A and B are shown apart, each in its own frame.
Chain A
Amino acid sequence: MELFFRYLLNGIGNGAVYALVALALVLIFRSTGLLNLAQGEMALFSTYFAWKLTDLGLAIVPTIAIAVVASMFGGALIERTLIRPVHGPDKSPLNVLIVMLGLFLGLNALAQLIFSDDAEPMPKPWPTVASPGDPVGRNARFAEVGGVPISWSVVALLLSLIVLAGLLYLLFQRTKLGLMLRAAASNPASARLVGINSSNMLMLGWALAAGLGAVAGVLAAADRGSVNPGLMAVVLVYAFAAAALGGFDSPIGAVVGAMIVAIAEAMTIGYVKALSTIELVVPFGLILLVLLVRPTGLFGRKVVERV
């Protein structure tokens, strides 16, 4: 039973990272109807940027703040210059897909060319205690409940998720800007009629997604102790599974889906020895199952297609 709780906590920690990336995917999907394949590599680029800042001697907390702001500008720039010209109801979806794949390849390669193509250490924005068996202090404990140590990293990851999801909720439900964002997402033409600049809202959606991705990337790297060029590709797969499970247009679905996916992953690693090293089967099985059985996901709305 103790082991079970250990796996569960591992799952929750990873789930927080997946949830942040899944939220970013949902933000972009809601405003543009796109599945952003480049989300992971955008986050990777931000993460290497953050590593460079810490490498230059900046503390981790201001680094995250700078990386988030810079990423938001980057995301807005990408939307405006690369995505908008090729995306629209009358344009072929193949083109925008190819542009996103180009971003996927290009941003990963660019991060390696500009910053580093090696694994680089990422300091942790939470207390660490290095011990002989755990040189990066990943498992520094926050508390111990019934013999199960709860590590600082799980607490910090979960806390970040709660704070960010809460802020997003406040932004969307309690501010005028959020109302405008929702209006532009649900009906761009009508929103324009009442004086909302829909295209700016799209850009803001991408900016928010890029900022979330930056936080997710830095936290994922900090949790694992280092950032490497393959870090976000796997995270993206789990985030896609999470978003598919929750419904691509539902933020709550993204969080719930991420937790389900991450806990399923942790349990698979823990208990299903037949799937060792191929635990990636789990998210893909989930994606396929959801798309086939209930394409709207657990919390998604059904879209009626007019011919």
Chain B
Amino acid sequence: MTRRNLRIAVGVVVAAAALYAPYYFGPSINQELSRALYFAIAAMGLNLLTGFNGQVSIGHGAFFGVGAFTTAILMDSYSWTFELTIPVAALLAALVGVAVGVPALRVRGLYLALVTLGLAVLFPRLGQRFIEGTGGVALIRPSRRGFDSLIDGLANDQWQYLETLAIAALLFLLAWNLTRSRVGRAMIAVRDQEVAASTVGISIARVKVGTFALSAAYAGVAGSLSVMIDRAADATDPILAFRNSIEFLVAVVIGGAATIAGPAVGALVLILLRRETNGLIEGKEMLSPAIFGAALIAMIFVLPGGVVGGLRKLTDRVLPEHPRPKENP
């Protein structure tokens, strides 16, 4: 079996499983799986920025929040159809991304992490100040009617899962093609050697700000979808945006930075971990952050390429991409 066939076989099995899952599981698991899907989209956005372009952000929870509130407000106050709000959410998040990406040109590495951290901490406070939702708090619940299944024979949870899956598949395909294109190679070149990249004619500023905008748009779409799955846009919790930011990064690192499948694998692992550890110790919700923290550190030490990177190494061993040429006798 060649690598190519293996890849196709894995792809077919995963696609079949993803399509069959909503019929196999019940509504509660379907909701968790949908959650993993929108998490995967946000993680992919962060992966484009951090994995492929080398700009670290721990503020993507804010872009996610912008997307969520765009959708929630448009549906709640202006009675838009849910699907139409998604591009608007992406666009607004991208605009905020540009607003952050331009100053980010001046700072890099840990300083950039610091600035984006500020974004995540600030977002819920701005939300609490300027958004008047249900009962005067920064929480908007659009009518659940807006997310009802449009196809007879599909229950609401199945419809929501499949819709999220379709959008996720589209965005992953886009990312896959992008990273193998001219633009994608420019992104990687800027990550690896900024000076060298600029000497071969890549506009560093354009690539960096563009990646920031695209990455933020992914997070915005994820936020928009989260309104459908979690049924609310929420800024009442002061650390929610920060926690989301960290969890996106956890998903990228666990799955494997700068890989295409990584964010999806990481998001699934993360959601399952969170589900399994919640309520494991009575009255203590702190177990999952403790595990995430330990997992982050352990991954860096044990499996720096993440799950996908590790699997790739394994297949390299078993099925070398270029079989070793036989030595002539």
Contact = CB atoms under 8 A, between A and B. Distances in A.
B103 A292 contact: yes
Nearest to A33: B110
Interface in A63-84: 82
B257 A105 contact: no
B286 A35 contact: no
A109 B122 contact: no
Chain A contact-residue range equals 35 or more
Contacts of B156: none
- SS class of chain A's interface: helix, strand, loop or mixed? helix
Given A34-B110, A85-B301, A113-B286, A94 B296 contact: no
Interface stretch (B7-15, B124-132, B217-225): B124-132
A123 to B, nearest CB: 25
B260 interface: no
Interface string A10-25: 0000000000000000
A139 B43 CA distance: 48
B293 A104 contact: yes
A136 interface: no
Nearest to B102: A292
Given A102-B297, A113-B284, A278-B129, A291 B111 contact: yes
Interface residues of B, number: 44
B1 interface: no
B110 A278 contact: no
Contacts of A102: 292-297, 300
A112 B296 contact: no
Given A101-B58, A104-B293, A295-B107, A287 B128 contact: no
A112 B284 contact: yes
A117 B282 CA distance: 13
B175 interface: no
A117 B115 CA distance: 29
A280 B121 contact: yes
A101 B249 contact: yes
A227 to B, nearest CB: 15
Contacts of A106: 289-290, 292-294, 296-297
Nearest to A38: B293
B239 interface: yes
A37 interface: yes
B118 A94 contact: no
Nearest to B51: A94
A52 to B, nearest CB: 16
Given A94-B50, A99-B297, A102-B293, 6 more contacts: A37-B113, A93-B109, A117-B284, A117-B286, A287-B115, A291-B107
13 contacts: A35-B111, A86-B301, A93-B109, A93-B110, A94-B50, A103-B297, A105-B290, A106-B289, A106-B292, A113-B281, A233-B239, A278-B125, A281-B125
